[in-house]
Amino acid sequence: FLNKAALVMEGDTHSNGTIAKSWRLCTTQQVEDLKTLIKILPIWSSSIFLSIPIGVQASMAILEALTMDRHLGSHFSIPASSFLVFTFLAAAIFIAVLDRVIYPILHKLLGWSPTLFQRIGAGHLISIMGMVAAALVEARRLSIAHSHGTMDQSNATVPMSALWLVAPLALVGAGEACHLPAQMSFYFEEFPAPLKGSSAAMMAVIIAIGFYLSAAVVKIVKASTSWLPNDINHGRMDKVFWMLGVVGAFNFCYFVLCAKLYKRKPSIKH
């Protein structure tokens, strides 16, 4: 169907052969470039969900930290919003460890290195693990709040260290370390040559859409369930994380299907 855009019809060109209607007639290369972009879209769409848990967790972790014991020693209390740093710190550390240690060791000992799709898939799985960890931590926080009678005390601190939040936040960061660099490499390799400069923007678009959707998810959950009341001690935030984990599992299956059906561009060997 798209090939019709390159068919020359009467009136499409001038007598000297130049294109008269550039908005109607495309070159064969332009048609092929569009086909390539359409082929990439399923893989790209499967990655949008990866940004949704990050946006949701960023908001929820702050709310959780505000109700937990954030003290380090007797004189210092970690600001609640500072816990988000652990996600980015974990991502930075894991990227360095993967590139400088794990991948070289795998290549040296086994003669094998994970493909870009395998790295992206690992990012999906670790992100799901992050949501499961977040659900377990929140369930534990609610249990302690209930057993210590802080459920109905406004501004009461649940006797549970806020450092428990580091594990799920770090897992999400580790997931980013796996899939973000791999996706950027994938788009750069697969994008048509005239558009390679725009390939880096694909990740920015994914993150932007994901964060907008995360706000929509929170709003929908608040409107349709009792999981996110104003006082989270009376809610079930853990169910939000479980929901994201389950949806993430389905999204991972969708990614695997897209990856199986995708035909990579042949590599050029010099």
Pick the CATH number of 43-261 from 1.20.1250.20, 1.10.8.60, 3.40.50.410, 1.10.10.10: 1.20.1250.20
Say what the pLDDT of residue 18 is.
Answer: 58
Residue 28 is predicted with a pLDDT of: 66
Can you list the positions of beta strands (E) in 138-269? 158-161
Secondary structure tally for the chain: helices H, strands E: 8, 4
Alpha helix (H) ranges present in 191-236?
201-224
The per-residue pLDDT for 270 is 38
The full set of domain ranges for the chain reads 43-261
Q: Tell me, what's the pLDDT at 104? A: 92
Low-confidence ranges of the chain (pLDDT < 70): 1-30, 32, 151-155, 265-270
pLDDT confidence of residue 156 = 75
- Which residue in this structure is represented by tokens 């995360």? 214
CA–CA gap between residue 72 and residue 66 (Å, rounded) = 15
Q: Tell which residue, 176, 6, 147, 148, has the closest CA to residue 88.
A: 176
Question: Among candidates 138, 167, 162, 166, which has minimal Cα distance to 69?
Answer: 162
Question: Residue 198: its pLDDT value, please?
Answer: 81
Residue 157 confidence (pLDDT): 84
**Segment holding 76, helix H or strand E:** strand 76-77
Determine the Cα–Cα distance for residues 224 and 7; give it in Å rounded to an integer. Answer: 52
- At residue 269, the pLDDT reads 46
Q: How does 81-116 read in b/e, with b if 16+ C-beta sit within 10 Å?
A: eebbebbeebbeebbeebeeeeeeeeeeeeeeebeb
Task: Give pTM, 2 decimals.
Answer: 0.85
Distance CA 166, CA 215 (A): 22
